[in-house]
Amino acid sequence: MTKAELIEKVSEKIQGLTKRQTEVIVNSIFDSIKESLAKGNKIEIRGFGSFRIRQRRQRDGRNPKTGVSVSVPAKRVPFFKAGKELKEIVDKGNAS
């Protein structure tokens, strides 16, 4: 599902909101999540899951084209952990 499809679906479910108003709401939610993660905060949405930052260590990598060894610097990356309810819903969807 793309963001445009998500906006369409939410707009259909919530009567009285235009697609443009729905887009502003969806973008605001995503922006809030991004800003919070950038500050190093954790976001927990009960029944859905949690977003947090994980620290990756510096490591040695290899250029796939040339085979030359390169140093990959340490970095922070976003991480999502699905909640129990989401895991159960996804699992039931695969059982059908």
| Antiparallel, parallel or unpaired: β 69-72 and 59-62 | antiparallel
Tokens of 84: 């129990």
Contact 11, 22 (CB under 8 A): yes
Q: Where are the domains of the chain?
A: 3-95
Tokens of 94: 């695969």
Contact 33, 54 (CB under 8 A): no
Residue pLDDT, tens place only, 3-45: 999 999 999 998 888 999 999 999 999 999 999 999 999 999 9
Q: Which helix (H) or strand (E) holds 31?
A: helix 19-38
CATH class of 3-95: few secondary structures
Cα atoms found within 13 Å of the Cα of residue 5, Cβ hemisphere only: 2
Residue pLDDT, tens place only, 35-60: 999 999 999 999 999 999 999 999 99
User: If you compute the radius of gyration of the chain from its CA atoms, what whole number of angstroms results?
Assistant: 19
